[in-house]
Chain A
Amino acid sequence: MSDALDHPSELGRDGLTANAPISTGSEWTFELIGKYDVEIAKCAAEFGLDTYPNQVEVISAEQMMDAYSSVGMPVGYNHWSFGKQFLSTSKGYERGQMGLAYEIVINSDPCIAYLMEENTLPMQALVIAHACYGHNSFFKGNYLFRTWTDASAIIDYLVFARNYVSECEERHGVDAVEAILDSCHALMNYGVDRYKRPAPISAVKEQERQEEREDYLQRRVNDLWRTIPKLDEDEDPIKRKKRYPEEPQENLLYFIEKNAPLLETWQREIVRIVRKLAQYFYPQRQTQVMNEGWATFWHYTLLNRMYEKGLVTDGFMLEFLQSHTAVVYQPPFNSPWYSGINPYTLGFSIFIDLRRICETPTDEDREWFPDIAGTDWVKSLHFAMANFKDESFIQQFLSPKVMRDLKLFAVEDDDLEDSYKVTAIHNEPGYRELREKLARQYNLSYREPNIQVWNVDVRGDRSLMLRHVPVDRVPLGKDTEEVLRHAHRLWGFDVHLESVDEGLLIEEYTCPHQPENS
C-alpha cells in the first residue's frame, strides 16, 4: 500500500500536488482497487468524512442478484417474498435492465459494500467513493441512524433471526412459519416506534433473554386476559368507556407481540424479529433523498478531487461522468420514463447547491440562508447531513435555485374538482409553498395512512379495533381488507378498522371470518 505514496514529482492539475495517474487501463485488479481506495480515503479525510471501517467485497453478478433480493440484508431468514424479488431481479438483469450496482451497502460496522466483478476500474472507484465513503459516513453521522440503529450489532442479530426462524420451521413446519411471516410483513411498516427510542439490537442478549421472556410474555398476556367479566362492572358506563390501551398505539406489531391472546411464544418471537428489522430499516426509509444525495455528492466531489490531484486520467473521468450523469438524470413529468422525483437528483442538487451557497453566495442566498451563506462548506454540509431527515432537510435546505433548475411545480388533485390545479411553480411567490409541499411529500406519516391501535374489547369478544385518521380525506387503498386478514391471523379474534375523520365515521372494515390461528 505504501507505493501509492511515492509518485514521480510532476505538478497535478491543481498546480500543487504532484502525481501520476494510478492506472490508465480499465481492467481492475485487487492491487489497483487497494490503491484507489487508499487515495479516495485520503481525499475523504481532506473533507473530514468520518466513516466506519470498510469491508469491500468483490462478488459476481449472480451474487449481486442474491444481494439485491435480500433487501440489503447480508444474511436473512428464508421467505418466498425474497425469492420473488430474486426472480424479478434476475429477469431484469438478463434483459440488461439492471442498473448500476452501487446501491448496496450495508449499515454495519464494518460497513459492507459490494463491487461487481464485471465492472470496469472507474466504476469500481465510483462505487468505493459512493458507498464506502458516501453512504458509510452518512450511516455514521446522521442522527436517525445514530439513534435508531446499532451498526455493530446488526449482522449478529440477522444471524440470530435467521437461525431462530429456521428452527421454528423445523419445529412447526414451513407453512406455519411462512403464514406468520406473511402477516408480519403486511404490518411491517406499522412495526416501528416513531418517537420512542428503541432498545439497541443485540443477538446475544436476545438469546439470553429469550427463555426468560417466554415466561414473562405469556404471563403478561395471561394477566391481561385473566379478568373474568363481572356483570355489574360491565354495566358501569364509565368502566366500559375506559379503553385498552388507554392511549392509541402506533406500533401495531409491538402491540400484537405483547397482547395478542392466542399467539404461541415462537410466534411472538417472530413478530418481534420482524418488528426489530422494520425498526432497523426505518431510518433508511426516512432519509432516502439525503442518503443518496450525500453519497452522490461525495463520489462526485472525491473523484473530481482525484482528478485535480492528477491521480486519474481524462478517460477515467469521462467514463465516470457518463454514469454519474445517468444516475442524476431526472426525466420531466411528461416523459414516459417519469416515475416520480429521482432521489439521487434531488439530494445531489441540494448538496451541490449548499456548497455553492457557502462558497459563492448570491444576494438571494443571503436572504434565504443567512446562517449558511459564506460559511465553511464542509462544516455546513456535515451539519445538514447529521441533523435532518428527508422532510426537514428539504424544508430547511431546498433553495430557490434548485427549484428553478428542476422546474418544480405543485399540482393539486381534489376528487371534488373535475380538473387538476397548479398551485405553485418556481417563482418568487411559489418558492416557500413549493418547498413546504415537497417536504411534506417525504413525511412518512403523510405517505402512509395513519393507523393506530384504538381499543381492545377486553371484556367482550376480544376484538381489536384499529383506527385510521385520514389526512385530506384520502381513503385507504384496496389492500386494506387483505391486510386486515393478516392482522386477524395474528390477533386471533375479530379485527375492526374504522376511518374516523374529525369524529365522523367514514368507513368501516371488519375481518370477521371464523377465528383461525396460524
Chain B
Amino acid sequence: MGMTHIVDRRLNGKNKSAVNRERFLRRYRHHIKKAVSDAVHQRSITDIERGERVSIPTRDIDEPTFHHGQGGHREMVHPGNRDYVTGDRLPKPEGANGQGQGQGQASPDGEGMDEFAFQITQEEFLNFLFDDLELPNLVRKKLKDTETFNYVRSGFSTHGVPAKLDVVRSLRGAHARRLGLGGARKKKIRELEAQLAELRTAPAELDAAFSHEDQIKVLEDEIARLKANVKRIPFIDEIDLRYRQHLRQPKPATSAVMFCLMDVSGSMTQMHKDTAKRFFILLYLFLKKNYKKIDVVFIRHHTSAKEVDEEEFFYSRETGGTIVSSALKLMHKIIESRYSPAEWNIYAAQASDGDNWNDDSPVCGKLLTDSILPLVQYFAYVEITPQDHQMLWYEYERVQERFPESFAQQQIADPNEIYPVFRQLFERKTA
C-alpha cells in the first residue's frame, strides 16, 4: 500500500514532440515545398488563412529494415476457420501478396496506404512557400530608419511651450503653493483678530501701563503686516506651471500597399490573366507574411487606365491598344493622394504581354525612373509571353540598370514558371 505515486503532469509541456516534428518537416522539406507550391496554384488570392495537407509517398519515408520478401514456403496460423478441413486447397488470389501478412494491404478508411498524409499549419505553409525568399533589402532599411513617429503622453514637465500648458494641473499646483505659503499666516491672523476682539470688548484697565489702547495698536499693526504678507503671495507663479509632455516614439511602418498593374488589352488572353493572377497571389501572400495590414490596388489599362475591384480586374474583358504609361500615371496619382511613402511600404507588380505602343515605352521608362521608383520599395515586372521581347522590355532593362535594388523584371512563358520566377525576383541576396 501507499506504493503508488499519483502525479498530475497535465501542466507539464505538451510539446515534447515539437522538436521531432520539426525534424521531420526539415527532412522532408523538398516534398513539402512541392506540395505547397502545388497548393498555391489552386488557391484564391485571399484564401491563405489555413495550413495545408501534405502527402508524401510512404516509400520515401519508410525506415528500411531487413525483412522477409515474398516467396519460399511458409505457414501461417489464422483464426476464424468455419469450414476448412485439413488438406483443403484454396486458390491463390491474382497477384497474391504473400498471404496473411496483415497490415499494409488495405486501410479501413479507404485512404491509400502508399501516401503518408499530414497537416501543416498556416505559418509552416507560408514558411515553406517563401523559404529562402526575402523582401528586397530596402524594406529592412525602411524599418530601421523609419520616418513616422507617434507622440505618446508621458507625464508632465515644468518646461514647455504655452500651447502645451495644462491649466488644471498648473492651478492645482498654485493652489497648493498658496496654501503652503499662506496657511500659517492666515491662521495667525485669525488668532490675532480673536484677541483683538476680546480686548475691545473687555472693560478698560485702570493702570495706564496696561492700557488696552497700546495692545490693540500692536495687534492691529501685526495683523496689517501679516495681511500684507499674505497678499504678496502670487495667485499663480512660474513654478506652478505644468506642461504636458510628449515623447516621440518611432513608428515602424507595418502597412503596405500593393499595386497590381495589368494590361487588359485585346492581346491579353484569359490564360495570360490567370498567370498574372497567380503571380499577384504569390506577391500578396508574401507581403501578408511581412506586414500586418495590406491594401491592394488594382489598376488595369489598355489605352487608358482605371482603378477597379478584384473581380473586374481579373475577369472583365476589354479590347483595344495598349498604352502602359497610363497605368503608371494613375499609380503615381494614387500614391500621391492616398499612400504617403512615409507611412506606407509600396510594392508594385506589373503584368503584361509586352505589347505597348512604341512611342509610349520611353515615357514609361521616364515615369518609373523619375517619379515612381523613388517612392516604392520594389517594382516587379513580369512579361507573360513566350515570344521575343518588344520595346517595353528593353526600355525597362535600362531602368533596371539604374535601379537594381528596387526594380526587377522577368519573363514567364508558361504558368509553371511563375513560382521559380517569383523566387528569382525575391531571392535572398547574399550580402
| B-binding residues in A (CB < 8 A) | 1, 30, 33-34, 37-38, 41-42, 51, 53-60, 62-63, 65-66, 69-70, 78-88, 91, 95, 97, 110, 117, 132, 174, 178, 182, 185-186, 188-190, 330-341, 345, 406-416, 418-427, 429-430, 434, 437-438, 441, 447-449, 451, 470-480, 482-483, 486
Contacts and interface: CB of A to CB of B under 8 A. Distances in A.
B132 to A, nearest CB: 17
Q: Which 5 A-B pairs have the closest CB atoms?
A: A332-B80, A83-B24, A474-B72, A83-B20, A473-B72
A70 B21 CA distance: 11
A412 B92 CA distance: 11
A410 B76 contact: yes
Contacts of B78: 333, 338, 341, 408-411
A407 B71 contact: no
Contacts of B23: 78-80, 82-83, 174, 178
B14 interface: yes
A472 B69 contact: no
A423 B75 contact: yes
Interface size class of B (residues with CB under 8 A): 35 or more
B20 to A, nearest CB: 4
Contact of A79 (B20, B25, B67): B20
Nearest to A394: B77
Contacts of A332: 79-80, 82
Interface stretch (B5-13, B196-204, B212-220, B333-341): B5-13
A409 B77 contact: yes
Contacts of A95: 109
A471 to B, nearest CB: 8
B62 interface: yes
A91 B55 CA distance: 12
Contacts of B10: 58-60, 63, 117
A419 B91 contact: yes
B74 interface: yes
A479 B98 CA distance: 16
Interface string B1-44: 11111111110101111011111111100000000000000000
B86 A422 contact: yes
B242 to A, nearest CB: 55
Contact of A1 (B1, B20, B74, B91): B1
Interface in B293-320: none
A412 to B, nearest CB: 5
B210 interface: no
B16 A441 contact: no
Given A63-B12, A78-B19, A186-B64, A413 B85 contact: no
A53 B90 contact: no
A35 to B, nearest CB: 11
A406 B87 CA distance: 20
A225 to B, nearest CB: 27
Most B C-beta atoms less than 10 A away, residue of A65, A81, A411: A411
Nearest to A81: B63
A477 B81 contact: no
B138 interface: no
B116 A449 contact: no
Contact of B99 (A58, A84, A411, A423): A411
24 contacts: A42-B1, A55-B4, A56-B4, A58-B7, A66-B16, A69-B20, A78-B23, A80-B26, A132-B4, A332-B80, A333-B78, A336-B108, A338-B80, A341-B77, A341-B79, A411-B76, A416-B73, A421-B88, A422-B86, A424-B86, A425-B84, A474-B73, A476-B67, A480-B69
Nearest to B119: A91
Contacts of A190: 66
A416 B229 CA distance: 128
B69 A478 contact: yes
Contacts of A480: 66, 69
Contact of B65 (A34, A62, A110, A186): A186
Interface of B: 1-10, 12, 14-17, 19-27, 61-82, 84-92, 98-100, 102-103, 106, 108-109, 116-119
A476 B87 CA distance: 29
Nearest to B5: A55
A172 to B, nearest CB: 16
Contacts of A447: 68
Given A84-B116, A479-B62, A407 B81 contact: yes
Contact of A477 (B68, B88, B119): B68
Most A C-beta atoms less than 10 A away, residue of B8, B25, B69, B85: B69
A429 B86 contact: yes
A83 B23 CA distance: 7
B66 A189 contact: yes
B87 A57 contact: no
A422 B3 CA distance: 51
A291 B119 CA distance: 35
Given A55-B5, A413-B75, A449-B66, 11 more contacts: A56-B7, A80-B27, A83-B25, A409-B77, A412-B74, A437-B75, A437-B77, A451-B66, A474-B71, A475-B68, A476-B68
Contacts of B73: 412-416, 472-474
Given A189-B66, A482-B64, A408 B81 contact: yes
Contacts of B22: 83
B262 to A, nearest CB: 41
Contacts of B12: 59, 63
Given A87-B24, A408-B78, A479 B84 contact: no
Contacts of A336: 106, 108
Given A80-B20, A84-B24, A87-B24, A472 B74 contact: yes
A54 B5 CA distance: 6
A49 B99 CA distance: 40
B86 to A, nearest CB: 6
Contacts of B5: 53-56, 110
A516 B80 CA distance: 52
Contacts of A82: 17, 20, 23
A441 B100 CA distance: 12
B75 A407 contact: no
A25 B389 CA distance: 79
A441 to B, nearest CB: 6
Given A57-B7, A80-B26, A83-B17, A406 B79 contact: yes
Contacts of A60: 10, 14
Most A C-beta atoms less than 10 A away, residue of B68, B87, B102: B68
Given A63-B14, A132-B4, A413 B88 contact: no
Contacts of A85: 20
B86 A430 contact: yes
B108 to A, nearest CB: 7
Nearest to B7: A57
Given A41-B3, A408-B77, A419-B90, A479 B16 contact: no
A449 B69 CA distance: 9
A91 B68 CA distance: 29
